[in-house]
Amino acid sequence: MKPTAILFIAFACSLAAMPSAFAEGNKIAPMIDSVQLMHNGKPVTVQRGHDPQAHLPDAYQKTERGCPPFCVQPMTAVPGVDTIGELEMLEYLQRSSQGDESILVIDSRTPDWVMRGTIPGSVNIPWNKINIDTAGTFETPAEAEGLKHILADEFDAKLGEDGKWDFSDAKTLVLFCNGIWCPQSTANIKTLVEYGYPVHKLKWYRGGMQDWLSVGLTTVKP
């Protein structure tokens, strides 16, 4: 039998098997039906939607947003910082929900966006709370003091007597925002690296809310 005939038969068999596979439901991955997480102390089941008529919310259907500031972000936010996808994000969320306090998943968006829905298991720390301008400074002393509290109280970094930050026991941070056109989490990662945060303790979910929603994964509102 010719190789092309064998390939055609294999392809036909795979098509024949597809209806039964689809009948099993809209899984996250072949071996993952759903993931159990905690959000604000309450259990949440993360799964994909089962409505074939569902579509992205209006806020994520736009293709023209204006650059700057909404420019397409690179695959690498900062050299050494891992860029992750949905399955890796779910793994970090699950570890955090199961009590791993060394991991913190951060929604970098402003509260008005978070109110529309966020990823279960994440905490909201708006990007403008962890941001320095191009000169590497803050507009007000209060902004600098605010970041100091976030680094110490939220991220477990320690400020030494010499004024330098010690990130030895700092948490692994997983940051995201609205999508590949959103610069907020990227800006935060760059700020943290400038402060000395170890790049191996920073992860970036580049696809953000737009990609999360595009595959129908569960969201929650505060």
Q: Show me where the domains of the chain are located.
A: 25-214
What does each of the 222 residues of the chain score in pLDDT, given as a tens digit?
554 444 344 434 443 444 434 435 789 999 999 999 999 999 999 999 888 878 787 778 787 888 988 999 999 999 999 999 999 999 999 999 999 999 999 999 999 999 999 999 999 999 989 987 645 566 667 777 888 999 999 999 999 999 899 999 999 999 999 999 999 999 999 999 999 999 999 999 999 999 999 999 999 998
Superfamily name with CATH number, domain 25-214: Rhodanese-like domain (3.40.250.10)
Q: Could you tell me if 129 and 139 are in contact, meaning their C-beta atoms sit under 8 angstroms apart?
A: no
**CB neighbours (10 Å) of residue 145?**
11
**Which residues lie below 8 Å from residue 218, measured CB to CB, with a gap of 6+?**
44, 45, 46, 47, 120
Determine which helix (DSSP H) or strand (DSSP E) holds 44, and give its type and residue range.
Answer: strand 42-46
**What's the sign of the alpha-carbon dihedral 95, 97, 100, 105?**
positive
pLDDT for 156-173, tens place per residue?
Answer: 999 999 989 999 999 999
CA distances from 71 to 15, 68, 98, 174 (A): 40, 6, 36, 21
Unique residue bearing structure tokens 């696809």: 207
pLDDT for 69-105, tens place per residue?
Answer: 899 999 999 999 999 999 999 999 999 999 999 999 9
- Quote the tokens at residue 8: 């055609």
**Which residues lie below 8 Å from residue 180, measured CB to CB, with a gap of 6+?**
72, 73, 206, 207, 208, 210, 211
Ramachandran class of 163: left when φ > 0, alpha when ψ lies in -120 to 50, beta otherwise:
left
